[in-house]
């Protein structure tokens, strides 16, 4: 199914030769001379790379219909993460490579939204922050209260986060899924 570049909207998904992309922003331009065109910023679904692309006005581009399914992460099986569809209870294995950095934030029992295109999972929509338990960190030294001082802590998913000195093993912390930074104790 094709859509005119005049009808582009933010968040719309397109299936271009360079891959599956989503429209981040667009601008219609009508110069004094020459034909009108549409300047866009497109984000690649797989790589996350943002590219600028210009189309002629009313050029037809292939629209991609992305289905978003809410799924629960059950367990790991080899390099695959097994999810269960919350509506149909179907189990779907997804390779770690397709999930990208999201694997650092997923723990068993978590519910996430998996966007699918033509039956294939193309990524994962995580919440803005997740709660994770600290499994390993050095104890804070008594009297060491340097303002803003940080130490590395390993959480249950294997991710290493820089945390304040007062965080200890067993603490639950909130981590920003976009930057991988410590937010607060949970």
pLDDT of residue 83: 92
pLDDT in tens, 110-144: 889 888 888 788 878 888 888 989 999 888 666 66
pLDDT of residue 147: 66
User: What is the DSSP annotation of 61-116?
Assistant: EEB---EEEEEEEEEEETTEEEEEETTT--EEEEEHHHHGGGGGT--TT-EEEEEE
Q: Alpha-carbon distance 63 to 15, whole Å?
A: 6
Neighbours of 134 (CB within 10 A): 19
Taken in order of first residue, the domains within the chain and their CATH numbers are 2-62 (2.30.30.30), 67-121 (2.40.50.140), 129-185 (2.40.50.140)
Q: Alpha-carbon distance 22 to 121, whole Å?
A: 15
pLDDT of residue 25: 92
Neighbours of 15 (CB within 10 A): 18
SS3 15: strand
SS3 7: helix
Cβ atoms of 70 and 80 closer than 8 Å: no
pLDDT of residue 33: 86
Order of all β-strands in the sheet with 91-95: 91-95, 80-85, 67-77, 111-117, 120-121
Q: Alpha-carbon distance 41 to 50, whole Å?
A: 7
Ranges of residues in the chain whose predicted pLDDT is under 50: none
pTM above 0.75, yes or no: no
pLDDT of residue 52: 93
Find, among 72, 131, 125, the residue nearest to 102 by Cα: 125
């Amino acid at each position: 199914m094709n859509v005119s570049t005049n009808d582009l909207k933010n968040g719309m998904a397109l299936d271009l030769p360079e891959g599956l992309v989503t429209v981040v922003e667009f601008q219609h331009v009508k110069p004094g001379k020459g034909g009108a065109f549409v300047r866009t910023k497109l984000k690649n679904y797989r790589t996350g790379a943002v590219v600028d692309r210009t189309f002629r006005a009313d050029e037809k581009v292939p629209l991609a219909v992305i289905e978003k399914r809410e799924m629960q992460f059950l367990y790991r099986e080899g390099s695959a993460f097994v999810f269960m569809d919350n509506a149909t209870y179907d189990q779907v294995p997804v390779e770690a490579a397709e999930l990208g950095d999201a694997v650092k934030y997923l723990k068993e029992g978590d519910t996430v939204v998996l966007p699918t295109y033509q039956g294939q999972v193309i990524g994962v929509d995580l919440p803005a922050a997740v709660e994770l338990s600290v499994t390993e960190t050095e104890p804070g030294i008594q009297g060491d209260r340097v303002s803003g001082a940080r130490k590395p802590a390993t959480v249950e998913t294997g991710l290493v986060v820089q945390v304040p000195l007062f965080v200890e093993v067993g603490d639950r912390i909130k981590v920003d899924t976009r930057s991988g930074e410590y937010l607060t104790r949970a």
